[in-house]
Each structure stands twice: as structure tokens, then as C-alpha cells.
Amino acid sequence: MAAADLARLADWAQAAYPQEACALLAGRWRPGAVLDLTRLVPSRNLSATPEQAFEIDLGLRIGLERELRDPPGGAVTGAERLVGLWHSHPDGPDRPSERDRAAVQEDMLWLVSAVDRGTAGRPRAFRPLPGPGFARARWGAIGGFGPVAGFLEESLVAVALPDGMQEKGMSS
């Protein structure tokens, strides 16, 4: 991602601090598990406990999915679609939490940004595994949103805490 794109995520995370910020990701998948991100769509965090969790605005998601399903000029091969979400972890780690693991219901890219005392770090990318846990994804290309921005899936590495282990400051 270009510096300007990363700065947008950092700005949103820092503006929401000490609450979690969240957004939807739209893009196009290419062969070889390469994802070209095309846009970020910020969402209000509708969680009842926004300091500990996030909840994407369902109306925003439905509206985006309708727009992507019925683009101007009709659907095309490799069309843009909802491919993931991003959220911040205020004073927590830059990886999915136990709450995130419990909430996963579909195969989407997850970007997670840690926010340490109000300063956001670079987001890390993850894909849900078929069972509990996530696979770490790596940044695949340099550039802004568009044809040169992408992610390549790495070997599967579960991101999960051992049973009964709690991490200080962990939020979803």
C-alpha cells in the first residue's frame, strides 16, 4: 500500500482512539491468491463496547455489496467485490484477538492495526483458516489502491493464544 493509503488507516485509527475504528475493503482477486485492493470504505463502529470490539454498519455493508453486485455498465469478469475488513486494536496487538476468531464467519482478508497510546502502527494482514485461527498474509506489492496494490498469501500460520491465556490490553 502506498504511504497515503496507510496514512488514511492510521488517521482513522487515531481519530477513533481509545475506541476501535473499522472499514470494509473492496478489491479483485487474481490467480495465485493475489488481491488487488481498490478501495477502503470507513464504517461507524456500532459496537455497544467500542473500546473492546467493533461492529461494521450492516447498512453500509449491504449498500456496498449491492453497488459491487450491480456496477454501472454491468458485471465483468474479475469484478470488484467485498474482500475484507480492517479494524484497529487500541492499546492491543496487531493481530486478530480471541474475539475476532470467534466472530469470523466467512473467508475475508482481515487487516489489523495496533494503536499504542494513540499512535497507530502499520496494519498486518490475515486470512481466516478453515478451523480456529488465522493465516498471516504478507504485503505483495508496493503502490496505491489499484492494479499494483496486492497481497500474497503466505504459508498458513495460525494466530491464536493457547487455551486459558489472556493478553493484557487485547481487544477485538
Tens-level pLDDT at each residue, the chain (172 residues): 556 777 899 999 999 999 999 999 988 877 766 777 888 999 999 999 999 999 999 999 999 999 998 766 555 556 788 988 999 999 999 999 888 888 886 778 889 999 999 999 999 888 887 776 787 776 544 333 333 234 434 332 332 323 332 322 323 3
Q: Which CATH architecture has domain 3-153?
A: 3-Layer(aba) Sandwich (3.40)
| pTM listed for this prediction | 0.77
Instruction: Enter the C-alpha cell of residue 36.
Output: 488487488
**Helix boundaries (H) for the chain:** 3-16, 58-69, 98-103
CA distance 52 to 147: 35
Q: Which of 10, 43, 8 is nearest to 118 (CA)?
A: 10
